[in-house]
């Protein structure tokens, strides 16, 4: 099936995971929508709402509070990592990531992997997905959940040790910057993370539905994934999201080192936990195709193996047991080329993976999630110590 033939099967792909932001306070939850069409505009808006007011409120605090708040705010690597880097990055990344996921979805039809009987079902699933994404109840539920969590923190009591110093006045109460942090910046980050999680859940659901359709997998496909190798593009699409998560945890990593509260396991826990979390969110959804790929391999691998045995036996009977072995230019014979081609195809079959993702895509995702940590290390640890730690990775 050609792209032109399949065009009507997938009318629009770029809008699969986006919704129009509603009006009012709940519109904050819908910032990742068509209303902010460029990554730069989204990033600038997030910076202006989430981080810049904190800086201004700290600078404009009463003199007796400002002297203590400003230095602590400037040294708070976690706050800067969350609201000056991660928040704009996660918001801007949605433009590219969701567009690339839409391209991956369209390729299911363009590639011909779906049988004609499955295309109608595929179209219905896409329409159901669009209806779910655009449902107004979700635009309301996200901010409700975020502010419910903030309310729970207030009800259960917030320890002053858990809050940054700059967020408290000299009387131990929330300062103006502290209130903005608790009522605007932090809820905005929570809503953004919840929105990402919601879309990842929808992405997983769509993949699960597609895995249950009549897929025409080719076990000898050179991508070693039965023709599903293009799904690795979805893993790469999540790289900016992985970097945003890494920024949040790297900010915490820097803070505990700056405050001297680190433990032998805290750094390893933050780094390892970041990698595990990113892999679970971005790669695990592809595991729904594992059983489908395994069944296709079991069904066809022995057939390809038998074909290779038959060709090999015929080849040996002709060239090793007959007069043809005395011919001087054996390697130029067509039989050798045919045997090499077939065995190359059979080799693809036996090298088929049961998870449609390649090592390079995994490395890109992991590298993106860990990229903020070297910066955090140099900011919070002596340079000589950081260099020694990096050397330790090589020996």
**pLDDT digits over 285-334, tens only?**
999 999 999 998 888 888 877 777 777 777 666 666 655 545 545 555 55
**pLDDT digits over 81-135, tens only?**
999 999 999 988 887 888 888 889 988 888 889 888 888 899 889 888 888 887 7
According to the model, what pLDDT value does residue 237 have?
94
* Chain mean pLDDT for the chain: 81
According to the model, what pLDDT value does residue 82 have?
94
| Residue ranges of domains in the chain | 1-216, 225-395
**pLDDT digits over 43-71, tens only?**
888 899 999 999 999 888 776 555 457 88
3-state secondary structure the chain: CCHHHHHHHCCCCCCCCCCCCCCCHHHHHHCCCCCCCCHHHHHHHHHHHHCHHHHHHHHCCCHHHHHHHHHHHHHCHHHHHHHHHHHHHHHHHHHHHHHHHHHHHHHHHHCCCECHHHHHHHHHHHHHHHHHHCCHHHHHHHHHHHHHHHHHHHHHCCCCCCCCHHHECCCCCECHHHHHHHHHHHHHHHHHHHHHHHHHHHHHHHHHHHHCCCECCCCCCCCCCCCCHHHHHHHHHCHHHHHHHHHHHHHHHHHHHHCCCCCCCHHHHHHHHHHHHHHHHHCHHHHHHHHHHHHHHHHHHHHHHHHHHHHHHHHHHHHCCCHHHHCCCHHHCHHHHHHHHHHHHHHHHHCCCCCCCCHHHHHHHHHHHHCHHHHHHHHHCCHHHHHHHHHHCCC
Model's pTM, two decimal places? 0.82
pLDDT band at 349 (very low <50, low <70, confident <90, very high): confident
């Amino acid at each position: 099936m050609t792209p032109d033939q399949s065009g009507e099967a997938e009318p629009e792909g770029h809008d699969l995971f986006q919704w129009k932001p509603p009006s009012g306070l709940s519109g904050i939850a819908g910032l990742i929508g068509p209303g902010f069409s460029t990554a730069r505009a989204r990033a600038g808006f997030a910076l202006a709402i989430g981080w810049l007011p904190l800086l201004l409120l700290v600078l404009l605090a009463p003199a007796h509070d400002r002297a203590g708040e400003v230095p602590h705010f400037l040294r708070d690597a976690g706050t800067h990592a969350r609201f000056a880097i991660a928040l704009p990055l996660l918001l801007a990344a949605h433009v590219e990531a969701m567009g690339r996921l839409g391209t991956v979805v369209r390729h299911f039809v363009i590639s011909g992997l779906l049988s004609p009987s499955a295309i109608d079902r595929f179209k219905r699933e896409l329409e159901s997905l669009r209806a779910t994404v655009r449902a107004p109840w979700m635009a309301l539920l996200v901010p409700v959940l975020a502010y419910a969590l903030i309310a729970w923190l207030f009800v259960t009591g917030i320890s002053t040790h858990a809050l940054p110093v700059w967020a408290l006045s000299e009387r131990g109460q929330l300062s103006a910057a502290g209130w903005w942090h608790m009522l605007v910046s932090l809820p905005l980050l929570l809503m953004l993370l919840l929105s990402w999680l919601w879309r990842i859940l929808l992405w997983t659901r769509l993949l699960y539905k597609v895995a249950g359709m009549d897929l025409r997998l080719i076990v000898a496909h050179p991508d070693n994934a039965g023709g599903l190798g293009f799904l690795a593009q979805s893993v790469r699409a999540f790289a900016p999201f992985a970097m945003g998560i890494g920024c949040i945890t790297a900010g915490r990593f820097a803070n505990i080192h700056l405050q001297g509260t680190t433990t032998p396991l805290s750094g390893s826990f933050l780094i390892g936990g970041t990698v595990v979390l990113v892999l679970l969110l971005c790669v695990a959804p592809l595991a729904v195709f594992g059983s489908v790929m395994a069944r296709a391999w079991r069904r066809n691998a022995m057939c390809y193996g038998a074909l290779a045995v038959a060709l090999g036996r015929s080849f040996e009977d002709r060239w090793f047991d007959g007069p043809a072995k005395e011919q001087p230019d054996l390697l130029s014979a067509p039989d050798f080329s045919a045997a090499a081609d077939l065995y190359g195809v059979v080799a693809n079959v036996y090298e088929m993976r049961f998870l449609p993702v390649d090592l390079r895509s995994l490395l890109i995702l992991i590298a993106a999630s860990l990229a903020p940590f070297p910066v955090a290390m140099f900011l919070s640890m002596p340079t000589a110590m950081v260099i020694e730690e990096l050397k330790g990775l090589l020996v």
